[in-house]
Each structure stands twice: as C-alpha cells, then as structure tokens.
Amino acid sequence: MAKNYWLMKTEPEVFSFDDLVRERGRTTCWEGVRNYQARNLMRDTFKKGDQALIYHSNIADPGVFGVAEVVKEGYPDKYAFEQGNKYFDAKAFEKGINPWILVDVRATHRLENPVTRSAMKEMAALKNMMVLKRGARLSVQPVTAAEFKAICQRGKLKKI
DNA sequence: GCCAACGTTGGC
DNA sequence: GCCAACGTTGGC
C-alpha cells in the first residue's frame, strides 16, 4: 500500500505549526474537523506513516510551513460530546451518535523557507493542486506525491 | 473588512 | 427532494 500525502489547513492564530512542534512528542490530535468530506478522508484513507503538509490559512501570507506524519489512524472524537468544549456538537449529542473522528499527527520537518501561496501559484508542478483552486475550502485535502515533493524541495526540509 | 464560494439547514 | 437563506471559510 503506497503512502498517502495530505494537506492539512490550520489557522495559525488558533493552532500554528510552531504550536504543534511545542506539543509533547510534537504530536497532537487534529481537532475540530466538522466537515463530512474531510472526516471521510481521515476515517477511511489516512494511514499511519502518511505525510501531511501543514498549511496556514486565513492570514496575510498563507502557505505551507511544515511537514507532519500520521501517527494514529482515525478514532472517535470525544470532544464532540463534551459539553462546553469548543468543538462540542450539540446536534449530534442529542441524537446520541458521534460521527466525528480524530487522527494524531507528529511534526517531523520544518520548512526552512515556508512556501507561500503566492510562490505555490508560480510552481508548474502545482498547477492542478486543489488548495490553489478557487473556493477550495476542504480543510483536509489529498496531495499527489509530485506536489508533496515539489513543495518539500522548494521549502528546504529541516528535520526537527 | 469585503465578498465569493461553499456546505448545511429548514420550509414547503 | 428542491432550493432559498444562512453561516462559515479564507483569499484578497
């Protein structure tokens, strides 16, 4: 089974790549995904050892800042059923069925030169990349091996 | 801060 | 099941 590659968006004001690096074991559960398409990818397709580009969104200079690997495959997201939690899902809680899942990721590399969105747009290897398309809101996106490699080379990976 | 694109909700 | 209204995302 070939390794999968992903792009995972995060708002650095909320949780940045540096925040991930500061976590114990540089590992965290990827909280807050409340979209079924993204959920399905994490539940069905994310495999241990897959690699993910960590992308900062909703800032002046969005782009890829680091690389992480999947260290734990999909498991129930208990936060969805914790009243008062930021990611509490009242509707699901009433129904008694928790549809949400988490994966754990560990930071492995920093991009010495973060690859900004504007730089990505100029890269021929990324001309079909999902994240660059208009209105691509999916917070967890598949990335091809070629796209992953192109960004890693451009960004100069530095092992953490 | 604006607003286009998208996903979800809810009336019918 | 359709679709308008709404809330959110996220680039700019």
- Residue-wise pLDDT tens digits, A80-126: 999 888 899 988 888 888 999 999 999 999 999 999 999 999 999 99
Count of C-beta atoms within a 10 Å radius of residue A13: 9
Q: Which nucleotide is nearest to A37 (CA to C1')?
A: B7
pLDDT at A45: 96
How far is A50 from A60, CA to CA, in rounded Å?
Answer: 29
Taking a C-beta distance cutoff of 8 angstroms, is the pair A151, A52 a contact? no
Q: Tokens 């540096």 — which residue?
A: A18
Q: Which nucleotide is nearest to A36 (CA to C1')?
A: B7
CA of A77 to C1' of C8 (A): 21
The answer to whether the beta carbon of residue A14 comes closer than 7 angstroms to any atom of strand C is no
pLDDT at A90: 87
pTM above 0.75, yes or no: yes
Residues 54-93 of A with CB under 7 A from strand C: 57-60, 62
- Region A51-56: what's the mean pLDDT? 98
Q: Whole-number mean pLDDT of chain A?
A: 95
The answer to whether the beta carbon of residue A9 comes closer than 7 angstroms to any atom of strand C is yes
Is A2 a residue whose pLDDT tops 90? Answer: no
- Burial class for A155, CB neighbours closer than 10 Å (0-12, 13-18, 19+): buried
Nearest residue (Cα to C1') for C9? A137
The answer to whether the beta carbon of residue A139 comes closer than 7 angstroms to any atom of strand C is yes
| Dihedrals phi, psi of A92, to nearest 5 degrees | -65, -40
Closest CA to A54 of A91, A35, A87, A28: A28
How far is A12 from A88, CA to CA, in rounded Å?
Answer: 21
